[in-house]
Every structure is written in C-alpha cells, then in structure tokens.
C-alpha cells in the first residue's frame, strides 16, 4: 500500500481475493486516494463480484484469456 503512495503507477491490476487482511478493493481505494491518476482493473472468478467493483474500475471475470486481457488493457489505455 505504501508503494501506491510513493511511486507512480499507470495501472493497477489485482485479483479481488488476495487471501490476506486486504483485498483488491482495498488496493483500488488506496490507489485512488494517492497523488497519481491510476487506472484500476479487478479480476475475480466470481461473476457476482462485479457489483462490488467501483464504476471507475474495470472488471475481468476469470479465467482470463489473453485476448480478453489485451482488450481490457487497450480500453484502459484509451481512457
């Protein structure tokens, strides 16, 4: 989380379930609180998780194909 405040990132791609004390949504919130405009993408194997993802964050359902990932990355780059 500290890196999100100290370093510049163009994109944050995270799984929703990180298996620890924080989850992907916590990372997204931290990225948006930081000084940089970070594009954010959350992925999950649970399609119902899409409703928890903020509007400014793209969602990818797993399993992810390379073409789906490439498409989402392209769209995020354009925004």
Q: Residue 53: which of 25, 19, 23 has the closest Cα?
A: 25
List the chain residues with pLDDT less than 50. none
Q: Show the tokens assigned to 40.
A: 């954010």
Closest CA to 36 of 14, 12, 60: 12
**Length in residues, the chain:** 79
Question: pTM for the whole thing?
Answer: 0.85
The residues with which 41 forms a beta bridge, in sequence order, are: 13, 58
In the structure, how many helices (H) and strands (E) does the chain have?
3, 3
Q: Given the DSSP bridges, would you call strands 11-15 and 39-44 parallel, antiparallel or unpaired?
A: parallel
Write down the pLDDT at residue 8.
83
CATH classification of 2-78 is 3.10.20.30, yes or no? no
Q: What is the pLDDT of residues 21-34, one digit of tens each?
A: 999 999 999 888 87
């Amino acid at each position: 989380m500290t890196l999100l405040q100290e370093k510049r990132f163009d994109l944050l791609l995270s799984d929703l379930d990180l298996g620890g004390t924080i989850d992907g949504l916590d990372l997204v919130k931290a990225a948006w609180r930081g000084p940089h405009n970070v594009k954010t993408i959350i992925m999950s194997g649970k399609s119902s998780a899409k409703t928890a993802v903020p509007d400014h964050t793209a969602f990818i359902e797993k399993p992810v194909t390379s073409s789906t990932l490439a498409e989402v990355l392209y769209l995020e780059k354009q925004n």
